[in-house]
Amino acid sequence: MSQYLVSGGVPICGKIRASGNKNAALPCIAAAILTDEQVILRNIPDIEDVQVMLDVYRSFGGSVERLDSNSYRLSLGNIKTSEVPSEAAKKIRASILFAGPLLARTGKAVLPPPGGDVIGRRRLDTHFLALTELGAAVSGKKAFIFSARKLEGADIFLDEASVTATENAVMAAVLAKGKTILTNAASEPHVQDLCRMLSSMGARIEGIGSNRLGITGVKKLSSCDYTIGADYMEVGSFIGLAAATRGELVIEGTGPEDIRPAKMAFGKLGIGWEHEGTTLRVPKRQAMKVNHDLGGMIPKIDDAPWPGFPPDLTSIIIVVATQVDGTVLVHEKMFESRMFFVDKLIGMGARIVLCDPHRAVISGPAKLAGSELTSPDVRAGMAMVIAAMAAEGSSVIRNVYQIERGYEKLVERLSSLGGRISRSE
């Protein structure tokens, strides 16, 4: 098992380029199944989750050609199987994203239960609801078996604004007969990326960026050459890293609109940044002081579906709050196990009261000390990296596979910014 060795107490300074959005790359790879023509995807992050998705694509008989470090040419003529390999499904929750395109292309999809981060109960009911509304039948116990003689457009109201369920529904609907109305749809930037990619292939999608999508089915999708947007979760993570270590950072290739919800939350901690075009600069001089609500009340940072504060940045902002003067309440409303990593921060010296699985009160600034840590999931793992870099002394972070599922060449990139971090087996 690999681990990181971190010596903290050094400000992160320099220039870095944002990676492509992992959460857009995964559904776009799945969407490549929808055509028998070639698909070129660019700005794909070089991370474990992407490689697993590409392996699944190959298992269907697909051809994958790497054009450069972040670009691929995909092509899939005749599909030799509609079953997702069980080992791949265990590794990554995004394996569920193959249900919609396989159904649309072959009328069948067999998916073992997906794996991924353990951050609480993550329902699949919404996927089943959307696909059955389009005409699919679902059966099976050890694996989910989806089948449909034909898919037909429907008026669908999702019972929750699930990102992956929205993406599955859209991918199934683009080749369904007639029109689909998808209400209470997720509208995150990665959902928008998928919809724009499909549109470039000839799909007819209205309302991109809203929670009401209109999809008129077409008979065939064609080739495309599509560039994925920047990973605003990674950008938010690096903003938090720069602030927590009292560093100065320039991040190139960012999406200003995508990071706006995070700017409001970081602003409550006295942290800001400047945007010029697609370049973002985190200045060294930050207030690093909690801005109270009206009447001197303790402020609250809570996550929500887009355009609310992204839940994937909750772990990051908790660590940053430990280095800020004042008290703040962080309310994680969407996943009941995401906050359980804070006991490790408390062991490092953080002053945190975990009120329940969803709420934590953080008082800072706290002097953190190096510790031995284990990454439970992608974002909590990155939060531990930030804590270790802000701490005095040395830390060991184990199970870094979980971190590298979402962050490209992390050790190499942080080292280029002055971070004292290395990777060992």
pLDDT tens by residue, 243-294: 999 999 999 999 999 999 999 999 999 999 999 999 999 999 999 999 999 9
- Hey, is 268 helix, strand or coil? coil
| 354 and 339 Cβ atoms separated by less than 8 Å | yes
- What CATH homologous superfamily does 22-227 map to? Enolpyruvate transferase domain (3.65.10.10)
Separation CA 391–CA 383 (nearest Å):
12
Separation CA 38–CA 214 (nearest Å):
26
Write down the catalytic residue from 36, 55, 117, 312.
117
Residue 412 CB partners (closer than 8 Å, separation 6+): none
Mean pLDDT of 53-73: 96
pLDDT reading at 339 higher than 80? yes
Q: What is the pLDDT of residue 298?
A: 95
Q: What is the pLDDT of residue 260?
A: 93
Separation CA 204–CA 181 (nearest Å):
12
Band of pLDDT at residue 141, cut at 50, 70 and 90: confident
Give Cα 366 distance to the centre of its chain.
Answer: 29
In sequence order, what E strands does 28-132 have?
39-42, 63-68, 71-75, 108-111
Give Cα 360 distance to the centre of its chain.
Answer: 22
The domain limits of the chain are 3-19+230-424, 22-227
Rounded to two decimals, what is the model's pTM? Answer: 0.93
Q: Half-sphere exposure (CA, 13 Å, Cβ side) for 374? A: 4
Mean pLDDT of 176-190: 97
Mean pLDDT of 147-172: 95
Active site includes 325?
no
Separation CA 252–CA 17 (nearest Å):
5
Mean pLDDT of the chain: 94
Other CB atoms within 10 Å distance of the CB of residue 220? 11
Band of pLDDT at residue 3, cut at 50, 70 and 90: very high
- What CATH homologous superfamily does 3-19+230-424 map to? Enolpyruvate transferase domain (3.65.10.10)
Q: Which of 360, 368, 362, 367 is nearest to 385 (CA)?
A: 368
Q: What is the pLDDT of residue 209?
A: 96
Topology agreement, domain 3-19+230-424 and domain 22-227:
yes
**H or E element in which residue 411 lies:** helix 410-416
**H or E element in which residue 126 lies:** helix 125-133
Q: In this structure, which amino acid lies at residue 247?
A: G
